[in-house]
Amino acid sequence: MPQFDLFGAPEAERKEAPALPAGFRYRAELIELNTQQQIQVCTEELFAARRDWGHPAADPIFIIGLPRSGSTLLEQILASHSQVEGTQELPNVQQIVSRLRGFGPESADPRYPRILGSLNAAELAKLGEEYLAGTRVYRDGKPFFIDKMPNNFRHVGLIHLMLPNARIIDARREPMACCFSNFKQLFANGQEFTYSIEDIARYYRTYLELMRHWDEVLPGRVLRMYHEDVIDDLEGSVHRLLDHCNLEFEPQCLAFHQTKRSVRTASSEQVRQGISRTGLDQWKHFEPWLGPLGEALGDALTRYREDTGRGPPG
């Protein structure tokens, strides 16, 4: 009987993985450095001194986390509500970050996030207005809209400062399942951390580290939704989501798969089929080959459940 590799090809037909493209620029150490700088700059004291600064609009609902973490499911549930506009993974926060960072080579002390400590109330309000103005093209008149750019988890501090009334939801998935799903998915662009087992594991660990920090300095600010819990208890999860967004329950949120809208992520077909446990343990079929992933994740395999962000009261 022929032996099969991770992607289903007979071992005899297996080819060496192609070299990474010449333009590949991902460097895990830069992400880890930025994480440490966010932790150093975005302190509890900084946020306390800027309470209620920024733009007061409560329109945006940010869904953050890693790709393939169940974020499209959460988006589809919320976008099924009559008051919520489903958009896409919007680039606007990253555009603001790029401008705050400025141009020039990476350094040990980049302008962003350090600049967050020097922005005044008017400047932060202007950034919030810039974000709202830039996202209007994606909206169609509903009171609330979703920004599902997953990598915005790296900029929760900025989001909180410029839009203190926006809602933030962290879509989290069990690390082996999440990392395997990212590794086997060829993204059209971006997400270069998914190109190797080591990089995806390091990125997941960095994500946990930074989200733990946001929980500590902005307690209750982020609602954490575990993908496995949403699958096991859809109705309870829908109520948690809507309560967090101060929205009344609407039954069509439970029938999210019937909502007709454009979905532009790798999960577009899955969210049209209703709740299914099919993909939860898919990685276990390849477990004999995923030892290096488990080793690279280390204590993240259990630590991902330690933080239980519940969102702000009221």
Q: Is residue 53 part of a domain?
A: yes
Does residue 125 form part of some domain? yes
Asked if residue 171 has pLDDT above 80, the reply is: yes
Q: What is the pLDDT of residue 4?
A: 35
68 domain residue, yes or no: yes
| Helix-strand-coil split of the chain, %, nearest 5 | 50, 10, 40
Per-residue pLDDT tens for 93-123? 999 999 999 865 566 678 999 999 999 999 9
Alpha-helical runs (H) found in the chain:
28-41, 44-49, 71-79, 92-101, 111-114, 121-135, 156-162, 175-184, 197-217, 227-232, 234-244, 291-297, 300-303
Query: How sure is the predictor about 267, in pLDDT bands with cuts at 50, 70 and 90?
Result: very low
| Total count of domains within the chain | 1
- Picking from 1-15, 46-60, 162-176, 238-252, which range would have the lowest pLDDT averaged per residue? 1-15
Nearest alpha carbon to residue 244 among 170, 166, 160, 311: 311
Whether 15 is in a domain gets the answer no
> Which residues neighbour 226 within 8 Å (Cβ) at sequence distance 6 or greater?
172, 173, 174, 305
Examine residue 10 and state whether it is found in any structural domain, yes or no: no
pTM (predicted TM-score): 0.84
Q: Is residue 311 part of a domain?
A: no
Domain that holds residue 189: 26-303
pLDDT digits (tens, 9 = 90+) for 12-52: 433 344 455 555 677 889 899 999 999 999 999 999 999 98
- Domain annotation covers residue 209: yes
In a domain, 36, yes or no: yes
178-217, pLDDT tens digit by residue?
989 888 876 666 677 778 889 999 999 999 999 999 999 9
The Cα 138–Cα 150 span in angstroms is 17
CATH of the domain at 50: 3.40.50.300
